Amino acid sequence: MSNLLTPATSFIELGGPVVAILIGVSVFALALIGIKLGMFMAWKVGAHGNGKRALDHWERGDRDGAITLLEGRRSALDQSLLAGMKQLARGDKFKEDVEETIGAVALKKLHELQRGFRTLEAIAQLAPLLGLFGTVLGMIDAFQKLQTAGNSVDPSILAGGIWVALLTTAAGLAVAMPVSLVLTWFETRLEDERVAIQTLSSDLLNGGEGVSTSTVSADETSGMEPAYAT
């Protein structure tokens, strides 16, 4: 165990407290990414097959079968369709009312999936700045040593101080780059989920038997956007 800890300990000793902070931030980011990955898997983000099968049952007139397929599912898509189908099954024939219900459920679910993204974004932005801050502090220390040396300047002292100072910048970039890539992947998956909800719920409303849009004028429908599309 001591052999495994030695490289990390030496790295922290060379880079100073800034590197220690960056290591702590990276551990926190890794834990948060693990939690979000587990949530995305549990909520079946990107798996739209069940929702499409339920919609197919609904369009064939098997309303109970469609609702049964969606009940108990944690997917944002499935929960949104389920809310709309239940409202239609209860006899609500007005499209804007059902659309509002679907949008509210979708917005809540997508917001829960998005929780933690701002933290990852902050880590991706601040890690390089922390690394640069550590480098500046290291350079100041190196030039102070150079000044103290006076006329007996040893170039190796300056070079050694500079490369040690640059360790913090490297550490900051090493934290920021993978976090930024993972965050982009999360955001892409979430956007795909949002589009799938909008598309399938639109199919449900436009193909729903007995759904009426009589309370909404043509001008209003042309400019109306679902709440979950924002």
Report the chain (230 residues): mean pLDDT per 10 consecutive residues.
Answer: 50 75 94 96 93 94 94 93 92 84 95 96 96 87 74 66 82 95 97 96 77 41 40
The most distant pair of C-alpha atoms in the chain lies apart, rounded to whole Å, by: 92
With a CB cutoff of 8 Å and minimum separation 6, the contacts of 207 are: 59
226 falls within a domain: no
Please state the φ and ψ torsions of residue 42, each to the nearest 5 degrees: -65, -35
User: Could you give the angle at which helices 155-207 and 2-15 cross, rounded to 10 degrees?
Assistant: 100
- 164 alpha-carbon distance from chain centroid: 34
pLDDT of residue 147: 73
The number of folded domains in the chain is 1
pTM of structure: 0.79
The verdict on residue 228 lying in a domain is no
Q: Is there a domain that residue 158 lies in? A: yes
Q: Is the four-CA dihedral 127, 132, 134, 135 of positive or negative sign? A: positive
What pLDDT shows up at residue 95? Answer: 84
Q: How far apart are CA 46 and CA 187, in angstroms?
A: 12
Q: Quote the CA–CA distance of 166 and 172 in Å, as a whole number.
A: 10
d(CA 143, CA 139): 6
Alpha-carbon distance values, 131 to 105, 123, 168, 173, 209 (Å): 41, 12, 4, 7, 60
pLDDT given at position 145: 74
Per-residue pLDDT at 179: 97
229: in domain: no
The rounded distance, in Å, linking the Cα atoms of 171 and 134 is 10
The predicted pLDDT at position 129 comes to 95
pLDDT at residue number 8: 55
Strands (E), the chain: none
Whether 143 is in a domain gets the answer: yes
The domain of 163 spans 14-210
Q: Does residue 122 fall inside a structural domain?
A: yes
Please report the pLDDT score of residue 165 as a whole number.
79
